[in-house]
Amino acid sequence: MDRHGYQIRDHIPLPTSLGPVRVDVTRDDSYDIRVVPDVDSAVAALLDELDGHRAAVVTDHVVADLHAERFTTALAERGLLLGTTTVQAGEKSKSLTTAFELIDWLAELDFARRDVVVALGGGVVVDTVGFVASAYMRGVPYVNVPTTLLAQVDAGIGGKVAVDHSEAKNLVGAFYQPRAVISCLAHLRTLDERQVRSGLAEVVKKAVIASPPLFDFIERCADELLACASPAIDVLVHAAGAIKTQLVGRDPYEVDLRRPLNFGHTTGHAVETVTGYGPVLHGEAVAFGMAVAVDVARGRGLIVPEVADRVIGLIRRLRLPVALHELAQQPAVDDVLAAMGKIRQIRDGSLRFVLPVELGTTIIAEDVTEDEVRRALVRDRAATP
């Protein structure tokens, strides 16, 4: 830098041919997932990650009453709080309408490129805020402070950000990594049991596809985990984050659509779509979707019956749905199949099912038939010993 400013010097030669110009672009993202025991530690971690930059906080109406004040007060005392806004709690807020409203709000705040959006809430908030951050000014930094178990073990990690559409769940989105994830275990003590169970479904998914030791741990500590009691929950949140980041790191932009992390989601997303995004929680839909996938695998002779029984048994033990009539709102089988047909169209004509073979081993099947799915959808596993 001289007295006039930064000097940038380039001498780029003319191309030697008039053929295609090769473009090579890479991006290297890295961030920390901090699991902390209490709110004071979470506030300190957020201030550390902000490193003096201003922040705009987005939360929902429920979380605003429970958790927001400690964070916003700390930011305001240091002159770092640009503003706070809330969205309605629930999956219906995970929409383009909400995203556009948040973009308008950031513009009104004169939000700048180095400012940071803080997503304080569950999966709906972190997904929506992540998508907004990816689009505003072509990308601004955001920090996730997930307050539900599902968000701490799954939604807040991995950089898949999206909002729902009437045609399909997560239809509009991006791959955009957060600057940091700060998971406060104290926040989990305010959850009702249904929300805890929903979060545990995503951890069971990770255990089945990638970690027999985690599956054993959940079996041993199921009652303690349902009560969201530490230290078991501390181990669970750490383990889920470590496992998901390893799996996502292999293919962060999903160039290969054959992904074990979609276990339970082919059916689960269809259920959420046809029930209108709300009556059935995401983890409940995934749990049912896992049961459907296990049944398809069992029918094909891919999975050892004892392993299949263990998986279904653990889902039941966590009081998650394994049969269609156990869902909070029971969709019509034909509607679920139609929604899965839409997923097939979106995924380049293939309906990929992640089928478990044994704990830690899966097969990605692209030839699952409608008859196989229909039989699995209507099976009453709740009545099966």
Q: Give dist(CA 341, CA 301) in Å, integer.
A: 25
Q: Give dist(CA 37, CA 340) in Å, integer.
A: 40
Evaluate whether residue 214 is within a structural domain. Answer: yes
Q: Are 162 and 170 in contact (CB under 8 A)?
A: yes
Whether residues 324 and 360 share a domain: the answer is: yes
Evaluate whether residue 96 is within a structural domain. Answer: yes
Q: Which residues pair with 83 in a beta bridge?
A: 56
Whether residues 180 and 235 share a domain: the answer is: no
Evaluate whether residue 11 is within a structural domain. Answer: no
Q: Give dist(CA 378, CA 274) in Å, integer.
A: 16
Q: Are 156 and 126 in contact (CB under 8 A)?
A: yes
Evaluate whether residue 94 is within a structural domain. Answer: yes
Cis peptide before 231 (omega within 30 of 0): yes
Over its C-alpha atoms, the chain yields an Rg (Å, rounded) of 22
Whether residues 39 and 183 share a domain: the answer is: yes
Whether residues 271 and 158 share a domain: the answer is: no
DSSP string spanning 24-89?
A: --------EEEEESSHHHHHHHHHHHHTT--EEEEEEHHHIIIIIHHHHHHHHHTT-EEEEEEE-S
What H or E segment, with its residue span, contains residue 105? helix 96-108
Q: Give dist(CA 144, CA 159) in Å, integer.
A: 10
Whether residues 56 and 42 share a domain: the answer is: yes
Whether residues 239 and 302 share a domain: the answer is: yes
Q: Are 150 and 123 in contact (CB under 8 A)?
A: yes
Check which CATH number belongs to the domain holding 214 and give it. 1.20.1090.10
DSSP-derived secondary structure letter, 15: P
Evaluate whether residue 27 is within a structural domain. Answer: no
User: What confidence score (pLDDT) does residue 352 get?
Assistant: 85
Sign of the dihedral through C-alpha 75, 57, 195, 131: negative
Q: Is 382 helix (H, G, I), strand (E, B) or coil?
A: helix
Whether residues 131 and 180 share a domain: the answer is: yes
Q: Kindly give the parts of the chain with pLDDT less than 50.
A: 383-385
DSSP-derived secondary structure letter, 190: G
Domain count, the chain: 2
Whether residues 350 and 291 share a domain: the answer is: yes
Whether residues 97 and 201 share a domain: the answer is: no
Check which CATH number belongs to the domain holding 123 and give it. 3.40.50.1970
Cα pseudo-dihedral 375, 381, 384, 385, rounded to 10: 140
pTM of the shown model: 0.92
Exposed, middle or buried by CB within 10 Å (0-12, 13-18, 19+), for 301?
exposed
Q: Single out the residue in 163, 190, 217 at which a domain terminates.
A: 190
User: What confidence score (pLDDT) does residue 1 get?
Assistant: 57
Q: Give dist(CA 1, CA 277) in Å, integer.
A: 54
Evaluate whether residue 44 is within a structural domain. Answer: yes
Whether residues 177 and 233 share a domain: the answer is: no
Evaluate whether residue 18 is within a structural domain. Answer: no
Q: Give dist(CA 80, CA 103) in Å, integer.
A: 19
The closest of 74, 298, 55, 39 to 186, measured between CA atoms, is 39
Q: Single out the residue in 164, 190, 216 at which a domain terminates.
A: 190
Structural domain including 305 reads 193-251+258-383
Q: Single out the residue in 175, 190, 205 at which a domain terminates.
A: 190
Tokens of 221: 């500590």
Whether residues 200 and 71 share a domain: the answer is: no
Whether residues 198 and 181 share a domain: the answer is: no
Evaluate whether residue 266 is within a structural domain. Answer: yes
